[in-house]
A and B are shown apart, each in its own frame.
Chain A
């Protein structure tokens, strides 16, 4: 995903949060959840998907973006 956005020079900066720990009952799951909420509140927009689709090891990733004006 990010590779493709980068290839098209999309003017977006990502803030990535890996939330696979929340799913597997990670000790930090509370913190990860709060971080996701805070990030979404800050950026007002987000993209969420399976990290697997991107060939990574963790199950679910959540990425937020902040919009950089052109």
Chain B
């Protein structure tokens, strides 16, 4: 199970460095048609607790307990991050996604804490939605979402649904923010073992994540030039990797971006 090994590396990294907020941007790429138009929302996911506490044990043979941890402190921290993100990025609404009708204590604490934090941000609209309904709404009318804030596992699932809306794991950038460290990486963390070594991988998500990193460093001009070159190549439509319906290799796509960078000057 190499996948789980990779995941636990990620989990360990996030917990060790306390990179507590995952940010994934779900937005249509100009020139790349998908079923839904005008999709533009951000997913803010709690990255360090919830179902990913790593606390599992078998009490007796055939009975496993897996502990999901929700704390007021960490719920408050991610809620503040989500609202501050909304303010800073001129977004209007924060939707808290939960399952408080079933996990009354754990998700109830998350929902109530997010709601309370929201009171300090009166200009930002807020609502909450049960995770199963949110998943359905996401695939039927995704335009209603602006910023979503979620506990760990729901965040992972909705990030993947969101990626599916706009072109898949190969095109969605993301970052993980902590108190001190910021780690940028493609939005849904697929290893892509199925296309390993086939030179079919789409570097778009990584390049856009890199471009987000440059903005974070204040290198906006570099960020804009690089992301523009990526978007130009995709919009042009002649050179695309397999996941986007083309037959170009990773290297051909990269070459085309380099050429476009040079042409754009």
- Contact residues of A with B, CB < 8 Å? 1, 3-5, 7-12, 19, 22-25, 33, 36-37, 40-41, 44-50, 52-55, 57, 59-60, 65, 67
B254 touches A4 (CB 8 A): yes
Contact between chains at B6 and A10 (CB < 8 Å) = no
Q: Is the CB of A60 within 8 A of B6?
A: yes
List the A side residues contacting B197 at CB < 8 Å. 52, 57
Contact of B203 among A12, A22, A54 (CB under 8 A): A54
Interface of A: prevailing SS:
mixed
A44 smallest CB distance to B (angstroms): 6
Taking CB atoms, residues of chain B closer than 8 Å to A11 are 219
Which B residues are closer than 8 A to A by beta carbons?
2, 5-6, 9, 12-13, 16-17, 180-186, 191-193, 195-197, 199, 201-203, 205-207, 209-210, 213-214, 216-217, 219, 222, 225-226, 229, 250-251, 254, 257-258, 261-262
- Rounded to whole Å, the gap between the CB of A41 and the closest CB of chain B is 7
Chain B min CB distance to A8 (Å): 5
- State the main secondary structure of chain B at its contact with A: helix
Distance (whole angstroms) from the CB of B209 to the closest CB of chain A: 7
For B209, what are the chain A residues with a Cβ–Cβ distance below 8 Å? 47, 49
Residues of A within 8 A of B258 (CB): 3-4, 7
Can you list 26 A-B pairs, Cβ within 8 angstroms, ordered by A? Answer: A1-B203, A1-B207, A3-B258, A4-B226, A4-B254, A7-B261, A10-B219, A22-B5, A22-B6, A36-B13, A41-B181, A44-B181, A46-B183, A47-B213, A48-B183, A49-B185, A49-B206, A49-B209, A52-B201, A52-B250, A53-B203, A53-B206, A54-B206, A54-B254, A59-B196, A67-B217
Q: How far is the CA of A11 from the CA of B214 in the complex (A)?
A: 10
Given known contacts A45-B182, A53-B201, is B250 in contact with A8 (CB within 8 Å)? no
Q: In the complex the two chains form, is A50's CB within 8 Å of B5's CB?
A: no
Q: Which residues of B contact A57 (CB under 8 A)?
A: 197
Which residues of the partner chain B approach A4 to less than 8 Å between Cβ atoms?
207, 210, 226, 229, 254, 257-258, 261
Residues in B neighbouring A52, C-beta threshold 8 A: 192, 195-197, 201, 250
